Structure 1
Amino acid sequence: MTGPAAGTVPRPVPAVLAVVLRGPEVLLVRRANPPDAGLWGFPGGRIEPGETLAGAACRELAEETGLTARPGPVIDALDAIGDGYHYILIALVCDAPDGAPVAADDALEAGWHRIAALSDDDPRFSRDVARLARKAAGR
C-alpha cells in the first residue's frame, strides 16, 4: 500500500456524507470551505465524539440545508487525502426530506440535481459524487 510520505498528512478524521435521494434527484451543496471549496458535494462533515454515523449525517444535513431526513444504510466509505488533511468519508443514504433546502453553515448553495445528468468527469463536482449518487439510487 502506498500513500503520502510520513508526516505530511495528519491522522485520519472520520466524517459522514448524507446522500439524500428524491426520486431521480440527489441533494447537493456547494462547499464554502476547503477541502473542495466551491465544488458541489453531499452534505456532510466530521463525526463528533460520541455521535453515531446516523446522528452525524442527520446533524450535518440539518446544519447545511435546514432539512431533516431519516438515515438509512451505509453505502460506501472512501478516503479524502490532501495537503494537510485525511478524512475517512462514510456515505449513508437518507430518505428524502420534506421542504426546500436552504444553504447554511459551510454551504454556499443547496439544491436538487438529476442523477442522470451527473458526470464523473465534471469539474464542478467533488470526486465520487456521480458514482455515489448512482450507487445510492440503485441500492
Structure 2
Amino acid sequence: MASDPAESDNLPRPVAAVLAVVLRGEEFLLVRRANPPDQGLWGFPGGKIEPGEGVLQAALRELQEETGVTAHAVKAFAALDSIDARPIDEGGHHYVLVGVLCRWQSGEAVAADDALEAAWFDLPTLLVNRARASIDVDTLAREALALARTLP
C-alpha cells in the first residue's frame, strides 16, 4: 500500500470551511481576525465545517458564534483556497472556503469567539480598505452583491 504524501511530508490536508457573506441592504459584515491565518485582517465571519453539518448550517453557526448576528442563508456561491504549503508544524494550512450568501435578519454585530472587531462596510469602503482585508474579500463581496441583486 502506498503511503499518503501529505502525511509523510507533514503537509497540510485540505479542510472544508465556510465564509458567511452577510448583506444588510448593501453593507457587508466583516470581522477582524484574532488568530492565524489572517490574524489582524478583516474578513467574512466563518470557520470549519463540523462533522455532519451542512454548508449553509455551518455558515449560520459561525456567524452567530463570531458576531451574535442572525441571518438567512440564501445560497453557497463561491469556493476558494487558502493555502500555505509549509509543513503543518511551521504554520502551514489548506482551507477550502465556501462562500455562503446570507441576508441579515437581526442583531448588531459584536465581536466574539476569534474576532477582535465586527463592523459593517459598504463596497466602496471595503475596496478602499482592501489592503487590511483577507485575500479575495473584495471579489467575494462583488460576487455576492451581484447575486443578491438577481434574487427576489
In structure 2, relative to structure 1, the CA distance for the partners of 1:65 and 1:121 (3 Å cut) is closer
Higher helix share: 2
| 1:19-98 → structure 2 map (5 Å cutoff) | 19-82=21-84, 83=86, 84-98=92-106
- After superposition, what is the alpha-carbon deviation per residue over 1:34-58, rounded to whole angstroms, capped at 9, x for unaligned? 0000000000000000000011001
In structure 2, relative to structure 1, the CA distance for the partners of 1:81 and 1:120 (3 Å cut) is farther
- After superposition, what is the alpha-carbon deviation per residue over 1:88-117, rounded to whole angstroms, capped at 9, x for unaligned? 000000011222100000000001011122
CA distance in 1, matches of 2:70, 2:79: 22
Which stretch has the larger CA shift, 74-83 or 13-22? 74-83
CA distance in 1, matches of 2:34, 2:129: 21
Structure-2 residue corresponding to 1:136? 144
Aligned length: 135
CA distance in 2, matches of 1:121, 1:107: 18
Note if 1:105 corresponds to 2:152.
no
- After superposition, what is the alpha-carbon deviation per residue over 1:11-52, rounded to whole angstroms, capped at 9, x for unaligned? 100000000001121000000000000000000000000000
How far did 1:74 drift? Answer: 1.1
- After superposition, what is the alpha-carbon deviation per residue over 1:37-86, rounded to whole angstroms, capped at 9, x for unaligned? 00000000000000000110010000000111110111100000014100
Larger Rg: 2
TM normalised by structure 2 equals 0.84
Secondary structure of 2:106 counterpart: coil
Structure 1: tracts of 5 or more residues without a match: none
One-letter identity of the residue aligned with 2:63: L
Structure-1 residue corresponding to 2:16? 14
* Identical-pair percentage: 58
